[in-house]
Amino acid sequence: MEILSFFVEAIMKKITIRKADYRRKRRHFFDKEQHDNTADEPEQEEAELASTEERVQTTIVEPDDKEQEESIPHTDYSEADRQMSKLSFGWLWLMLGLLLGILLMYLFSMLFMKQGKDEIEPSPYSKSEQAIKKTQADVVSVINTQKASDLLEKTDETTPEEIGIGSGVIYKLTEKYAYIITNYHVIKGAETIEVTMSNNEKQVASVVGTDIWTDMAVLKIPKGKITDKIAFADSNSVSVGETAIAIGSPLSQAFAGSVSQGIISGKNRSVPVDFDDDGEYDFEANVLQTDAAINPGNSGGALINDDGKLIGINALKISLDHVEGIGFAIPSNEVKEIAVILGDKGKIKRPDLGVILEDLTHLEIDAVRAQINLPESVDKGVVITGIEGNSTAEEAGLLTKDVITKIDDIPVESLVQFRKVLYYNKKIGDDITITYYRQGKQQKAQAKLK
């Protein structure tokens, strides 16, 4: 804009030309003879000059001396010089700015191109391979060592003997210790528990806490050079069909770190569990179902997703000749909650009625009906066969041979279901209503759990 203004101003200014500039003596470049002839005719020269002045006056305004000074002052040239100088510096700064901008754009474009190349460049490993590499060092072997009699020498001396092997997962690190979550049945009855890391380093573990009803146990070992722990996924967000990868030590230490892959086959499965191997189910575990291969020794190991995060602890499988690919894992959300309690308190204290119960369906129901006059419509429930002194049941007025059919509004059809309602739905200090039958009549009792 400054350049345009400058030129417009220069064009619009009044153009003045001094008359004296046109009255200077003519110079003739002719031969002497012609010059002499011309000199003899002064009147003709003056006439021509007058004619020339008339032509000039038709296009040129002749200012007086004052107008000349005002029209073309000396300061106008200085101002123009300054304008031109300013214009020159402006162009210089503009060019420098443009060059700097181009340089910055080039640098930024090279940076973004590098980032884009890094993001787009594919990894040499698949997503599952990356997940396994990320997690494999967090899974350890857990060896249950118990003392057994030396039958060959028939002495009372005992020697430690490896009873079984399972797996465990490092889930917590402190300044001194690494904490491991595993199944209770993996360490049940152990005299000594040995943990073998992925680098074959061995440590003797101590038990921090156990819980038979959830089949969970927490161990700890010296931290040493352990620097990593597993990350937990939200098991509530797991989808059927999602990738599931099992990591553990199936069969023996020789197969430590084995990996099998499948999918999540089902959620919220209730699976009956026999803890004491008496052939009777003691509890119902809430588990995830997977078709990833789970074998003896995988118990307590990790079931991870393809992000390398824990979605469950492998716990059991259905082992029948005609059954394939049905394994179960304790969901990671439950694992996390139980691990915190066991790590802090060593055990989970649950409400207890103080009763010994038996499934109604396990008894001769006709004999029971005859003894307690049980209505024909009642064919499921739990029968009280014993009551502890000063227990919640005794304070509530319950007696042996009472048949419990409900806790609050939740039906109780079996001993397993009774325990699940009491352990999962209730807590110490809760007030509950117990519905039961006594001598053919339905009754209700109020109790405070302790």
Distant-in-sequence, close-in-space partners of 203: CB < 8 Å, separation ≥ 6:
194, 195, 197, 221, 222, 224
CA dist 152 to 149, 155, 156, 162, 164, Å?
A: 9, 8, 11, 17, 22
Give me the residues paired with residue 248 across strands: 258
* 111 CA to centre of own chain: 27
Count Cβ neighbours within 10 Å for each residue of 32-47 and write b for 16 or more, e otherwise.
eeeeeeeeeeeeeeee
Give me the residues paired with residue 162 across strands: 145
CA distance 401 to 382: 9
Structure tokens at 160: 């430690």
At residue 219, what are phi and psi to the nearest 5 degrees? -115, 165
Which helix (H) or strand (E) covers residue 211, if one does? strand 202-211
Distant-in-sequence, close-in-space partners of 191: CB < 8 Å, separation ≥ 6:
145, 146, 147, 160
Side-chain-facing half-sphere of 254: CA atoms under 13 Å: 2
Q: Is 60 helix (H, G, I), strand (E, B) or coil?
A: coil
Residue numbers annotated as active site: 185, 215, 299
Instruction: Select from 332, 323, 307 the least CA-distant residue to 315.
Output: 332
* Residue 173 identity: L
At residue 73, what are phi and psi to the nearest 5 degrees? -75, 160
CA distance 368 to 344: 45
CA distance 378 to 133: 56
CA distance 105 to 107: 5
Looking up tokens 């967000």 gives 237
